[in-house]
């Protein structure tokens, strides 16, 4: 045997080509066997000419040859509409029955069966005309230009108790309690969803609308209505709060329910009368009264207050105020470049959200952040010098970069809060949180050592090299949004519409506010860190006062 192996080895040493020839023949034979098995083992679907195998049970009906595209033929069960609730318990069984012969075809089969099974949960009712001036569904809205699906939209609307969910442009989700628009033709709603290409999510100014059957009961509950306070009855109450309804058995839920049905964002309880409307210059909600003036028991609910004829108890409903939701690029390219400058973590993204709502124009960015673009900041993709956006986000400092702009809004935030916010963004995303391991590890001390000096130099550089700089403190913007936003809009050269600014106050949080529920159980700043940061605060405070500006707010200094 050993002699045979030695001869075999010597043979292929002298003839290496023969070895590779045999290897190629072996691989070719294996490929032929594999292809043959693929043809003879083709999955069978019940109803096909071959018929089901014995003992396999009932199969899915034969659908014929399908042309996969944005729309599916009638033979394939009509247009594919996603279910309200995803059911995954039967997916493995379905896959074993029909075989794995292409992901797209499997999704179509599953979507068809899912629509039939879940039709009692979310029912497609049609394609409707939609516009920014007159929304088909006037509740809250969500944008996701990367991951939007039919299920995700329905789920978001159902969680908030809405009766209808609609999708538009493949990425925009709208909720509402009633549909208010004419019908459009079905082919106009054939745009594929960004997060699931086999589903359709409306079209250009066309809304695919679903009725959320299982949300009918939950839609009557308004536990998430926001309490705004006690306010004096406005002089022209019929104009300020145009919708009204006498309610002998008044309760908070009943009034909020009525105003939500009427599609108004404000619900005002006046004893046994329910009033609805928008925040306007006639009823700004800026002058709150003592809540004891509204402390009259509700006739229909013993433990609730319902206000009086002179002092109204106001709640904000889930209806979205659409007076400030339309946004677009500048109609003509601007030659003036306005910076929205801030240290990272100082609330720049939130300020952009407010500016876009207040002006109706998109903001741009010195950078490109795909996650922000996917969430609706469409100016993110424009070059920062394009001139199509109302202002440009930047964290840059240094003379050359600063002198590229003609004017600037300089947003300053408490460094203790800004450093923690930026650390959370760096390790947890725009609205996420850094893990405890990052706070306890070496990352946090290194981050503070590198970023704390930058907080000071960033402000000092913009004060030194910037032209026409408007300083806005983040804390002041939170405390008095109306006045501070009016200053910011004025610098941008836009005539501030007060009704629009009041609308922004009701939509101020947007989608980029970190939840306050998750907080560190300890102070991450050491005494050495606080001593260093305190020195930087004093330096910035002195620089502001040197330019006849108000210094930093008092809460910048630790107690």
State pLDDT tens for residues 441-495.
Answer: 899 999 999 999 999 999 999 999 999 999 999 999 999 999 999 999 999 998 8
Confidence band of 49 (pLDDT split at 50, 70, 90): very low
pLDDT value for 410: 97
Q: Which residue has the tokens 């405890």?
A: 436
Residue 70 has pLDDT above 80, yes or no: no
Beta strands in 17-171 (DSSP E): 122-129, 141-143, 164-168
Per the model's pLDDT, the better-predicted residue between 351 and 13 turns out to be 351
Of 81-90, 343-352, 388-397, 449-458, the poorest mean pLDDT is in: 81-90
Residue 221 has pLDDT above 80, yes or no: no
Highest mean pLDDT (candidates 67-76, 159-168, 190-199): 190-199
* Average pLDDT, integer, range 100-112: 38
Residue 540 has pLDDT above 50, yes or no: yes
Of 29-33, 216-220, 338-342, 357-361, the poorest mean pLDDT is in: 216-220
pLDDT value for 59: 36
Which residues are CB-contacts of 527 (< 8 A; sequence separation ≥ 6)? none
pLDDT value for 338: 96
Write out the two tokens for 160.
Answer: 């908030």
On whether the CB atoms of residues 311 and 293 are closer than 8 A, the answer is yes
Query: pLDDT tens digit string along 119-137?
Result: 446 889 999 999 877 888 8
Query: pLDDT tens digit string along 277-316?
Result: 999 999 999 999 998 899 899 998 877 889 999 999 999 9
Dist CA 171 CA 373 (whole Å)? 12
- Provide DSSP, 303-346: EEE---SSEEEEEE-S---GGG---B--SS--S--EEEEE-TTS
Of 46-60, 309-323, 409-423, the poorest mean pLDDT is in: 46-60
Write out the two tokens for 67.
Answer: 């042309």
pLDDT value for 41: 40
* Average pLDDT, integer, range 250-257: 92
Residue 334 has pLDDT above 80, yes or no: yes
Highest mean pLDDT (candidates 15-24, 47-56, 487-496, 508-517): 487-496
Confidence band of 156 (pLDDT split at 50, 70, 90): confident
On whether the CB atoms of residues 507 and 426 are closer than 8 A, the answer is no
The pLDDT mean for the chain works out to: 79
Per the model's pLDDT, the better-predicted residue between 117 and 121 turns out to be 121
pLDDT value for 426: 84
pLDDT value for 224: 65
Residue 438: half-sphere exposure toward Cβ, Cα within 13 Å: 14
- Distance between terminal CA atoms of the chain? 90
pLDDT value for 474: 94
pLDDT value for 376: 86
Residue 2 has pLDDT above 90, yes or no: no
Confidence band of 23 (pLDDT split at 50, 70, 90): confident
pLDDT value for 355: 96
- List strands edge to edge, sheet with 338-342: 364-365, 392-394, 338-342, 407-412, 469-473
Residue 497 has pLDDT above 60, yes or no: yes
Within its chain, how far is the Cα of 244 from the centroid? 33
Which residues are CB-contacts of 542 (< 8 A; sequence separation ≥ 6)? 551
* Average pLDDT, integer, range 173-199: 86
On whether the CB atoms of residues 138 and 194 are closer than 8 A, the answer is no
Residue 64 has pLDDT above 70, yes or no: no
Within its chain, how far is the Cα of 407 from the centroid? 30
* Average pLDDT, integer, range 47-65: 36
Of 358-367, 512-521, 535-544, the poorest mean pLDDT is in: 512-521
pLDDT value for 121: 64
Residue 44 has pLDDT above 60, yes or no: no
Dihedral pair phi/psi, residue 183, rounded to 5°: -75, 155
Query: pTM value?
Result: 0.63
Dist CA 125 CA 165 (whole Å)? 10
Confidence band of 223 (pLDDT split at 50, 70, 90): low
Query: pLDDT tens digit string along 517-528?
Result: 456 667 899 999
Per the model's pLDDT, the better-predicted residue between 135 and 203 turns out to be 203
**Percent of the chain at pLDDT above 90?**
45
Residue 501 has pLDDT above 60, yes or no: yes
Which residues are CB-contacts of 373 (< 8 A; sequence separation ≥ 6)? 145, 380, 381
């Amino acid at each position: 045997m050993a002699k045979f192996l030695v001869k075999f080895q010597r043979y292929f040493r002298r003839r290496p080509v023969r070895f590779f020839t045999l290897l190629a023949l072996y691989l070719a034979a294996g490929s032929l066997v594999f292809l043959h098995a693929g043809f003879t083992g083709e999955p069978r679907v019940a109803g096909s000419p071959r018929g089901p195998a014995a003992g396999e049970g009932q199969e899915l009906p034969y659908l014929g040859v399908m042309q996969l595209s944005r729309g599916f033929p009638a033979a394939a069960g009509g247009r594919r509409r996603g279910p309200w609730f995803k059911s995954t318990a039967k997916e493995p069984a379905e896959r074993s029955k029909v075989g794995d012969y292409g992901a797209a075809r499997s999704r179509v089969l599953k979507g068809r069966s899912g629509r039939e099974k879940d039709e009692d949960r979310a029912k497609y009712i049609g394609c409707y005309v939609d516009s920014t001036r007159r929304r088909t569904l006037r509740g809250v809205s969500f944008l996701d230009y990367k991951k939007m699906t039919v299920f995700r939209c329905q789920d978001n609307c159902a969680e908030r108790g809405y009766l209808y969910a609609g999708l538009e442009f493949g990425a925009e989700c709208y909720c509402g309690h009633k549909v208010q628009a004419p019908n459009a033709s079905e082919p106009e709603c054939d745009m594929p969803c960004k997060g699931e290409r086999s589903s359709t999510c409306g079209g250009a100014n066309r809304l695919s609308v679903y009725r959320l059957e299982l949300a009918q009961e939950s839609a009557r509950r308004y536990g998430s209505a926001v309490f705004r306070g006690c306010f004096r009855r406005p002089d022209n109450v019929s104009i300020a709060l145009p919708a009204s309804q006498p309610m002998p058995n008044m309760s908070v839920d009943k009034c909020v329910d009525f105003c939500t049905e009427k599609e108004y964002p404000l619900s005002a309880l006046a004893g046994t009368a329910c009033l609805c409307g928008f925040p306007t210059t006639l009823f700004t909600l800026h002058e709150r009264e003592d809540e004891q003036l509204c402390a009259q028991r509700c006739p229909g609910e013993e433990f609730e207050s319902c206000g009086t004829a002179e002092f109204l108890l106001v709640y904000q409903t889930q209806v979205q105020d659409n007076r400030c939701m339309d946004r677009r690029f500048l109609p003509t390219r601007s030659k003036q470049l306005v910076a929205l400058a801030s240290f990272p973590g100082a609330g720049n993204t939130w300020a952009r959200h407010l500016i876009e709502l207040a002006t109706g124009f998109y903001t741009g960015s010195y950078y490109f952040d795909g996650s922000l673009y996917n969430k609706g900041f469409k100016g993110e993709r424009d070059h920062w010098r394009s001139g199509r956006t109302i202002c440009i986000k930047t964290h840059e400092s240094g003379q050359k970069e600063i002198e590229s702009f003609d004017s600037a809004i300089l947003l300053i935030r408490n460094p203790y809060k800004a450093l923690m916010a930026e650390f959370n963004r760096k390790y947890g995303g725009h609205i996420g949180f850094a893990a405890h391991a990052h706070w306890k590890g070496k990352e946090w001390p290194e981050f503070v050592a590198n970023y704390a000096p930058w907080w000071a130099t960033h402000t000092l550089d913009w004060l030194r090299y910037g032209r026409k700089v408007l300083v806005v403190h983040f804390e002041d913007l939170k405390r008095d949004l109306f006045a501070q936003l009016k200053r910011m809009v004025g610098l941008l050269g836009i005539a501030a519409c007060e009704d629009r600014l009041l609308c922004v106050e009701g939509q101020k949080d947007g989608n980029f506010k970190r939840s306050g529920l998750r907080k560190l159980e300890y102070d991450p700043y050491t005494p050495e860190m606080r001593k260093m940061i305190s020195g930087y605060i004093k330096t910035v405070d002195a620089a502001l006062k040197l330019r006849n500006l108000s210094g930093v707010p008092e809460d910048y200094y630790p107690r």
